[in-house]
Copies of this chain bind each other. A is one copy, B any other.
Amino acid sequence: MKTYNFPSAGSWSDILKRPTQSKANLEKVVTEVFAEIQAKGDEALFAFTSKFDGCQLNTLQVSESEIADAINTLDPQLKAAIEKAANNIRTFHNNQMQTEAAVQIADGIQCWRKTTAIEKVGLYIPGGTAPLFSTVLMLAIPASIAGSKEITLCSPPNKEGKIHPAILFAAALCGVRKIFKLGGIQAIGAMTYGSESVPKAYKIFGPGNQYVTAAKQYASMEGVAIDMPAGPSEVLVFADASGDAAFVAADLLSQAEHGADSQVVLVSTEARMITEVQKEIDIQLQALPRKETAAKALANSILILVKSKEEAMDLINEYAPEHLILQSQDEAYFVQNIRNAGSVFIGNYTPESAGDYASGTNHTLPTNGYARAYSGVSVDSFVKKITFQKITEKGLKELGPTIEIMAEAEELMAHKNAVSIRLRSL
């Protein structure tokens, strides 16, 4: 852990520099896999799944009986937890559907926007030893609230050709029935072009390793929208004297266990807090199954002592953390002044893992400083807004000359004529 005491504002950008993403040179393999999928469809998907996942499938789509089995066999306690989390996520995201009134610009000129679901969306859920069923909820619930008609979910099969029952249960709970045993590049390729089995998606969502990231980037060049750019997960905790060092340490560790490249930052106005958190980390780390991973992330973690809450706020806004945890007696000040963050956790009893799983907010958030320009996933991510306008004869008489003058000044005479020809008819 690197500790900085009262660093000057000019040095923050160096101190807080995220490691440069090693752009894995995966373009060649992605291009080849995508070309095969586009040319051969399912045949290519079966072949790549055999090659990359080591399993021979007869059908790509998860059957109704497999889904039913998952629902029947999953631990009831886990089912209940997933259902409770899903209800909270649904409650929070339902609140995001808003309607906008039409605007009467002038007599005879009415303009409005209509929110419309993206019809076909593709959700990617990574595999591996731990099944990320929570991400199923975070993507499928806003998709279904938005009203997307065709929700496709891909997740890699294990060697036995199975997807973890918690993923199938979560998907079924959200009404997603088009689930495919596809991982990595071939999953993204399948949703980009569509195949005999897999529907084409207009927008692809979901986390993944460097192969998935490279494939999503390629998909975006092929005309498919993607949720947001990817980067390692990160947390910044601000704690003043009112914070609890053990809780802070636990929050930092929960970020550190994600991966060796996780970004972990503590900012404090109290020297004592920084010392105590370090001690607590050493203690708590020993009990963690992923302690080696967490230790690697901690080696690059940053502990910064600042002079004031104002300085802390400036530093936080400059860093733009994905997750921001506030353990402060002045929490209102931070809530008021935060400008760049993905999701903010307020108070000593609001751990990041609440939002990761079950409080209702979305855990798909902008990393790598993207919080300066991007929001996390929400219902907004699954809709687009179409503008409409209707102008009457009277409205055009009133507005027409303005349009004619502007079009002429931009030397677009056919634009002008589209108005003039109508005005002449009146």
Chain A interface (Cβ within 8 Å of chain B)? Answer: 75, 77-78, 81-82, 84-85, 88, 91-92, 95-96, 98, 100-101, 103, 105-106, 109, 111, 113, 116-120, 129-134, 166, 202-203, 220, 223-225, 229, 244, 246-247, 250-251, 253-254, 256-258, 284, 287-290, 294, 335, 338-362, 366, 368-376, 378, 380, 384-393, 395-396, 399, 401-403, 405-407, 409-419, 421-422, 425
Q: Give complex CA distance A405, B356 in Å.
A: 13
- Minimum CB–CB distance from A158 to chain B (whole Å) comes to 15
Contact across chains for A225 and B374 when beta carbons are under 8 A apart? yes
Contact across chains for B129 and A378 when beta carbons are under 8 A apart? no
Contact across chains for B422 and A247 when beta carbons are under 8 A apart? yes
Contact across chains for A391 and B225 when beta carbons are under 8 A apart? no
Residues of B within 8 A of A391 (CB): 347, 349-350, 354, 359
Q: Which of B223, B343, B372 contacts A370 (CB 8 A)?
A: B223
Residues of B within 8 A of A425 (CB): 244, 246-247
Contact across chains for B413 and A288 when beta carbons are under 8 A apart? yes
Contact across chains for B103 and A92 when beta carbons are under 8 A apart? yes
Q: Which of B118, B335, B368, B409 contacts A372 (CB 8 A)?
A: B118
Contact across chains for B343 and A103 when beta carbons are under 8 A apart? no
Contact across chains for B92 and A392 when beta carbons are under 8 A apart? no
- With contacts A250-B417, A254-B415, A386-B342 taken as known, whether A402 is within 8 angstroms of B105 at the C-beta atoms is no
Q: Which of B289, B352, B375, B422 contacts A385 (CB 8 A)?
A: B375
Q: Which of B78, B257, B405 contacts A409 (CB 8 A)?
A: B78
Contact across chains for A103 and B109 when beta carbons are under 8 A apart? no
Interface SS of A by simple majority = mixed
- Minimum CB–CB distance from A108 to chain B (whole Å) comes to 8
- Minimum CB–CB distance from A202 to chain B (whole Å) comes to 4
Contact across chains for A405 and B81 when beta carbons are under 8 A apart? yes
Contact across chains for B290 and A414 when beta carbons are under 8 A apart? yes
Q: Give complex CA distance A220, B368 in Å.
A: 13
- In the complex, the count of this chain's copies comes to 2
Closest to A231 in B: B223
Contact across chains for B413 and A257 when beta carbons are under 8 A apart? yes
Q: Give complex CA distance A108, B362 in Å.
A: 18
Most B C-beta atoms less than 10 A away, residue of A133, A288, A402: A402
A–B pairs, 19, beta carbons within 8 Å: A96-B113, A98-B98, A119-B372, A220-B229, A247-B422, A247-B425, A253-B417, A254-B415, A254-B417, A284-B417, A290-B413, A338-B386, A349-B396, A349-B422, A354-B396, A354-B399, A354-B403, A355-B389, A358-B406
Contact across chains for B389 and A81 when beta carbons are under 8 A apart? no
Residues of B within 8 A of A134 (CB): 406, 410
Contact across chains for B359 and A389 when beta carbons are under 8 A apart? yes
Contact across chains for B92 and A202 when beta carbons are under 8 A apart? no
- With contacts A101-B95, A349-B422, A357-B407 taken as known, whether A373 is within 8 angstroms of B202 at the C-beta atoms is yes
Q: Give complex CA distance A362, B103 in Å.
A: 14
- Minimum CB–CB distance from A63 to chain B (whole Å) comes to 23
- With contacts A100-B96, A347-B390, A361-B111 taken as known, whether A257 is within 8 angstroms of B412 at the C-beta atoms is yes
- With contacts A95-B100, A105-B359 taken as known, whether A344 is within 8 angstroms of B389 at the C-beta atoms is yes
Residues of B within 8 A of A388 (CB): 335, 343-344, 346
Q: Which of B111, B288, B360 contacts A92 (CB 8 A)?
A: B111
Contact across chains for B384 and A375 when beta carbons are under 8 A apart? yes
Report, nearest first, the 10 A-B pairs whose CB atoms are least far apart: A225-B373, A351-B418, A130-B411, A81-B405, A353-B415, A250-B418, A346-B390, A257-B414, A254-B414, A375-B384
Q: Give complex CA distance A372, B224 in Å.
A: 9
- Minimum CB–CB distance from A321 to chain B (whole Å) comes to 11
